[in-house]
Copies of this chain bind each other. A is one copy, B any other.
Amino acid sequence: MTEPFRTEVGLANTERITLRGHDMVSNLVGQVSFTQGALLAVTGKMPSPGAVRVADAVLVTFIDHGLQPSALAARLTYAVAPEAVQGAVAAGLLGVGSKILGTLEETGRLLAAVAASVAGGTPEDEAVAQVVDAELAAGRRIPGIGHALHRDGDPRAAPLLAVAAAEGVATDEIRRLRAIVDVTAARTGRALPVNAAGVSAALLAGIGVPWQLQRGFSMISRTAGLLAHIGEEAQRPVSPAIRAQLREMSWLSEGED
C-alpha cells in the first residue's frame, strides 16, 4: 500500500478546520489579518508583527503599476468571457513572467546563493563577488537593480527599506543586496540603484519566504490589482478603445467568430 501522504498546509473535516495546525474558527478568522494568514500558510509559522508590516509593504507595492500588458490581457479576456472571472484573472496572472515580477525571483535566487555560500564558511564579500561574477560570466544581467522606467531610482525602494529598517528585519539580506549593487557597479562601470523588486526579494527572504515562492507571493498582490482592472472593465471598458485602435492601424473589423 502506498505510503500515506499528509499535507501540513491545512486540513478540513467535520470536526476541525486548521491552517498549519492553527484552528481556523477559534484562532484565525476575525483575529488575524490576511497578511498574517498568508505568511502563516506560506512559511508554516505565525509571523512576528515586524514581519507582517514588511510583508504588507511588499504586497502593497505590487498591487498595480498602471495599465500593464497583464492587466490588459485580463481585461480583454474578461470582455470576451465575462461569465468566468477566474479565467480573466488567470490570464492576467500568466503574464507574471520573467520580464516583470520574475526579477523578484531572480534576485531572491542570488541572495539565497550568497546565503548558502556564507553558511558554508565563505566570507560574505567573497560570496557576493562570486555570485555576481558567475551571473556576469553567464551573460546574465544582475537583477534587482536599475529600472527601465524610474531611471533615477525606483521610488518604491525607499519606503520598503524604511519599513525593514524600522522593524529590524532582513538586515543580512539588505546588506548583501547593497553589496551586490556595489560589486556590479565595480564590474560594469555602471552604478545602478536597487529597485523595488530587488528590495522585496531581500525583505521576503528575511521574513522566511523562500526565493522559489517569491514570484508567487507577488501574485497575491497582483490578483487584487487585476480584479480592480476587471471591475473597471465592466464599467468602463478599454477593449473597444483597443479594438478601435487596431481598426485604425490594421485592416481589421470588429467581429465575432
Contact = CB atoms under 8 A, between A and B. Distances in A.
A42 B224 contact: yes
A70 B77 contact: yes
A127 interface: no
Given A14-B151, A56-B32, A224-B38, A70 B76 contact: yes
SS of A interface (majority): helix
A216 B212 contact: no
Contact of A11 (B41, B83, B252): B252
Copies, count: 4
A110 interface: no
What's the interface size class on A, roughly? 35 or more
A228 B159 contact: no
Nearest to A224: B38
A150 B83 CA distance: 25
Nearest to A215: B85
B7 A229 contact: yes
A29 B60 contact: yes
A116 interface: no
Nearest to A196: B257
A93 B90 contact: yes
A122 interface: no
Contact of A220 (B159, B223, B252): B223
Given A34-B221, A35-B35, A216 B17 contact: no
Interface of A: 2-14, 17, 19-20, 24-26, 28-38, 41-42, 53, 55-57, 59-73, 76-77, 79-91, 93-103, 105, 147-151, 155-156, 158-160, 162-163, 196-197, 210, 212-213, 215-221, 223-232, 234, 236, 238-239, 241-246, 248-257
